[in-house]
Amino acid sequence: MATDYYGVLGLAQGASDTEIKRAYRRMARDLHPDVNPDPGAKEKFGEVSRAYEALTDPEKRRIIDLGGDPYDTNGGRGGSPFGNAAGFGGLGDIMDAFFGGGAARGPRGRTREGEDALIRVDLDLDETVFGTTTEVTVDTAVLCDACTGAGTAPGTHPETCSTCNGRGEVQSVQRSFLGQVIASRPCPTCQATGQVIPHPCPKCAGDGRVRSRRTIPVKVPAGVEDGMRIRLAGYGEVGPGGGPAGDLYVEVRERPHDVFTRDGEDLHCRVTLPMTAAALGTTLKLETLDGNEDLSIKAGTQSGTVLTLRAHGAPRLRGTGRGNLLVHLDVQTPTRVDGRQAELLRELAGLRGEDLSDGNSANHGGLFTRVRDAFNGR
C-alpha cells in the first residue's frame, strides 16, 4: 500500500507548493533532533523529510497523485507493474508516453522561498533571567536594491526561452518495444523557468539578491534558557529571484556564573559557614540577582542543609511566577586548632556531657587529642 505523503504533512491531496513548504518547515522545526529530545521525534522527522522530498519533486509527486509510491522498490520505481522496462523510468514516464510527455507541468517560477539562518549569541545569567535586548550581526542574502529582485539590468526584461518556447521543459523521442516514446526533462537553458535574462543586473548577476552584513536588534524574553532559540520571522536568507526570506533563529548560549548554577527556573548556590556560626546561629548577607538578602541561619544548622528563597529564580516561560533560589550550606570544621582552642573545645565537650575518650587513652590519648594532633600535622 502506497504511503500517504500528503497525510504525513497534514495536507490534502492537491496542496500547493507553498502549502507543502510551509507545513514542512513548521513540522521540521518541532521535530528536529537538535530541538526535540523525544526518541520518536527523529524517526518522525525522517518521515516528514521524506514526504517533503517526494512532494517537491515533480516526477515523484506525479507518481503519488496517480496512486503510486516513488520509493516503492517492490515491482520497480514508483510501484509500477512495468518495472524498469527499457525506455521507462516508472509509472510517470509511461503516462508521459501515452499522454504527451508532461506538458501540463509548465515552467517553474524563478522566485523561490529563501532558507532559514542560524546565529548564536552569548549571554550572562542575569540577561537570561531578566531578559534583555541585544544586537546580532548576520551575513545573509538580501533583496538586490538595484533590480528589486527582478534580476534584470535597468530598462530590460526577461525573455521567453527559445529552447523550450517558455514551457520550462524539452522533449525527446525515443524508440522502445511500445514504439515511439516522448520523454520530457527540465530545460537546461532556462533551468525550467521558461524565461532567460539576456541582460542580467550587474549588481546581483541575475540572482535578484546580494550578500549583505546587517546588525539586527533581538529582544530576549525573561527566563530563556541555554540552548533555546528565538525566531525572527523574515530575517533569514532572501530566496532566489527575490523570493520571500526565511527566518532567522538566534540560539542562546548562557555563560557560566561565578556563584549561581541553573536548573530550569531554579538557581542554586553554596555558602560555607564556620562551625561556631552553624552551632550558635547567625544572619548572613547573601548577594542574589535581585540584590542583597538577609539569610537567617538557625542554631544547630547541619552541613548539607538547603534553604529556599522563594521567587528568587528565573521567570517561567510558560505560566506565571518565578523559580526559587536554593542555598546549600556547608559547615566548615577547623583544620587546625591551637592549645587554647583545644582546651575550650574540650571544656565545651565536658559541659555537653560528651565523652571524647576512645577507651585507649593511656596509649594514644583521647579521641579529641588524636583529632587535634591530626589537624596539627603530628
> Would the CA dihedral through 145, 151, 152, 157 be positive or negative?
negative
Q: Where are the alpha helices (DSSP H) in the chain?
A: 5-8, 17-31, 39-56, 58-65, 91-99, 125-130, 275-280, 339-351, 361-364, 367-375
- Is 269 annotated as contributing to ligand binding? no
Q: Hey, is 332 helix, strand or coil?
A: strand
Give the type of residue at 309.
L
Closest CA to 142 of 119, 117, 118, 121: 117
CB atoms within 10 A of CB 212: 14
The residue written with cell numbers 497523485 in the block is 65
- Is 161 annotated as contributing to ligand binding? yes
Give the type of residue at 338.
D
Is residue 138 a contact partner of residue 119, using CB atoms and an 8 Å limit? Answer: yes
DSSP3 helix / strand / coil % (the chain, rounded to 5): 25, 30, 45
Q: Can you say which residues are annotated as belonging to the binding site for Zn(2+)?
A: 144, 147, 161, 164, 187, 190, 201, 204
Q: Can you say which residues are annotated as belonging to the binding site?
A: 144, 147, 161, 164, 187, 190, 201, 204
